[in-house]
Amino acid sequence: MLPHKQVFGKRVGWITVVIFIIFFTGIMVSFSSRRVALSWLPTRTPTISAPPHLYLPFVVSEDGPTLTLVPNCAQSGPTVTLTLVGINWPTNEGIDWFWNDTLQAKTLSGHDGALVQTWTESGIVTGTQEDPTVYEVRAVSDSYTVSASFSVPCAAGTPPPPDEPFISLIPDCTNASEAQFAVAGFNWPNDESIVLFWDGSPQSVIPAEHGGAFIQSWTKSGLTVGTANDPAIYEVRALSNSHDTIAPFAAPCGAVTPTPTVTATSTVMPTAPATATTTPTMTPDIDLAILGTPVIMSTPPIIAYQPIDVALVVRNLGAPINSTFFLDVFFDPAGPITETIPISQSVGYTAVTNMESGETRIVQIHVPQGFANWPDPHLAYSVADSLEQITELDETNNVSPPSVLTYVTPAATPTPTATPIPGTEEISGVVYRREILWQPQPRVFVTLVDEWTGTAVQSTQSDMNGYFQFSNVPEGNYTIHACANIDNMSYFGIRIGIPAPNAISDIYLLPGPCG
């Protein structure tokens, strides 16, 4: 028999091993919690962590949580795909998800109360119209258990599940002047961003790689409540590069019956001009239009003089465009707003090289300097064809209505860059970008860096012929950096060991991040 001290030592050793195993298991669960989109496998139970809170927080309503399946049936097996939408779930409770009593996934506490998952189930048995096979999906938290049924086949007369992208509003009506509801999207192209609008005003952008389904929680106040015979109808719109979908929201309920699976009308954006005349050689005139107001993409709080990103939506309403034009963003421009805004007031821009007839494009523009401290409120505009390079059928729709911002946090005014010691030399050249052939590229940011000190001594922008010039440069060796954003892609060029003076310092842009 071992002495008491030795037995105690062995027990402590075993306890240490057990604690280490529990700790290691916790780490592995933490790593697995990164998954959000689900593809069910019988050998594992995914754990879902809360997604980033990119949008408005969701508040649990008195109605309690709901669970919706889209679609809620299939015509046949053996494999089916469905999307689960959870609304009003307590944010401080985790959720276990079951398929026919088999645990499929776990959602950790800390979510925003609105959840979406996509499942693929195999081994499905197809019943008959009289006796369908019914599967149960169940969501269980500490306080609630909610179930929904999935049938195979669908009941007679049930329309087939839509193949095109659509949105559902859950609920899709209110009897009060303030409403909380979820906007859920299904079947959307995974490689396309989506802009969501409320009554024509952009609300937010769903970035690409969303998995085809998304959900957002919205709170709207100041709503006009009509009557059952004459309700106030508000419009929620989802717009990607290839699809345009609208769903109505009614106040009060009654005229539009609330149902969690209302399918909105979806319109496929045209990719070629429609034949509008008997003369085949004629095509519609070019007409670019900015849709809605600019959307500030950066997460609040917005701090003055800090870089931010702005998204805008542009559509080509006319004939195809096969030449480069620019999209610009303007903050608090001075002077009257007409069919354009003076380009000298632009705070950020991007180039577009072509657009098909009917094409809609969502563009993100980086604004390095952000907003200034004043005025308050701030006004943000976006402009299509800001240099007026294209003759259009209608020039009045190139400037957006303003976005109004009242939440910019004041900050210290940036310290001006010290003026370098002036010299007498010049460095100049042309910036080129290759399409079919190497062509001069206008409006490229070009920076001159002193190779001895590593500091940027001057910056400029290439003109419409791609030409740039640095004057009053001291003798020495320099590096030249060039950066441009074209068709939502970054292009970068560099030349090193450039002595001053030098009049042939041409730069060639290639796709890649600006450094």
Residues 152-175, mean pLDDT to the nearest whole number: 83
Residues 239-252, mean pLDDT to the nearest whole number: 89
Q: What sign does the dihedral 470-474-475-476 (CA atoms) show?
A: negative
Q: State how far the alpha carbon of 511 is from the alpha carbons of 193, 349, 358, 438, 490, in Å.
A: 21, 17, 27, 14, 6
pLDDT at 46: 44
Residues 274-293, mean pLDDT to the nearest whole number: 60
The pLDDT > 90 percentage for the chain reads 49
Task: Give the span between the Cα atoms of 303 and 403, in whole angstroms.
Answer: 17
SS (H, E, C) 374-394: CCCCEEEEEEECCCCCCCCCC
pLDDT in tens, 431-469: 999 888 899 999 999 999 999 999 999 999 999 999 999
How many other C-beta atoms lie within 10 A of the C-beta of residue 261? Answer: 16
pLDDT at 63: 64
pLDDT beyond 80 at 278: no
Higher pLDDT, 138 or 259: 138
Q: What is the mean pLDDT of the chain?
A: 81
Q: Give residue 255's pLDDT band: very low, low, confident or very high (50, 70, 90).
A: low
pLDDT at 439: 92
Residue 490: enclosing H or E segment and its boundaries? strand 489-499
Task: Give the span between the Cα atoms of 180 and 174, in whole angstroms.
Answer: 9
pLDDT beyond 90 at 210: no
Q: Which of 81-90, 276-285, 374-383 has the highest mean pLDDT?
A: 374-383
How many other C-beta atoms lie within 10 A of the C-beta of residue 477? Answer: 13
Alpha carbon 201 to its chain's center: 16
Q: How many CA atoms are closer than 13 Å to the CA of 464, on its beta-carbon side?
A: 6
The residue written with tokens 């087939």 in the block is 160
447 Cβ contact list (under 8 Å, min separation 6): 456, 458, 459, 480, 481, 482, 483
- What is the greatest pairwise CA distance in the chain? 106
Burial class (CB in 10 A: 0-12, 13-18, 19+), 433: buried
pLDDT beyond 50 at 279: no
Q: Give residue 412's pLDDT band: very low, low, confident or very high (50, 70, 90).
A: very high
pLDDT at 249: 93
Question: Would you list the domain boundaries of the chain?
Answer: 47-152, 166-268, 288-409, 425-511
Whether the pTM exceeds 0.85: the reply is no
Q: Give residue 409's pLDDT band: very low, low, confident or very high (50, 70, 90).
A: very high
Q: Using alpha carbons, select from 66, 26, 32 the residue that is nearest to residue 49.
A: 32
Q: State how far the alpha carbon of 36 is from the alpha carbons of 33, 47, 52, 325, in Å.
A: 8, 8, 11, 39
pLDDT in tens, 46-74: 444 333 322 222 333 446 888 888 888 98
pLDDT in tens, 14-29: 444 444 444 444 433 3
Going across the sheet that includes 80-87, the strands are 66-70, 80-87, 115-121
Q: Which CATH class is domain 425-511?
A: mainly beta
Higher pLDDT, 283 or 344: 344
Q: Which CATH class is domain 288-409?
A: mainly beta
17 Cβ contact list (under 8 Å, min separation 6): none
pLDDT in tens, 481-498: 999 999 989 999 999 999
Residues 487-513, mean pLDDT to the nearest whole number: 93
Q: How many CA atoms are closer than 13 Å to the CA of 381, on its beta-carbon side?
A: 23
pLDDT at 202: 78
pLDDT beyond 60 at 284: no
pLDDT in tens, 306-364: 999 999 999 998 999 999 999 999 999 998 888 999 999 999 999 999 999 888 888 99
The residue written with tokens 């240490």 in the block is 16
pLDDT at 160: 67
The pLDDT > 70 percentage for the chain reads 81
DSSP 8-class letter at 208: S
Q: Give residue 107's pLDDT band: very low, low, confident or very high (50, 70, 90).
A: very high
- Which CATH fold would you assign to the domain 47-152? Immunoglobulin-like (2.60.40)
Alpha carbon 85 to its chain's center: 20
pLDDT at 182: 86
- Which CATH fold would you assign to the domain 166-268? Immunoglobulin-like (2.60.40)
Helices in 99-150 by DSSP H: which ranges?
none
Q: Is it true that 47-152 and 425-511 share their CATH fold?
A: yes
pLDDT beyond 80 at 419: no
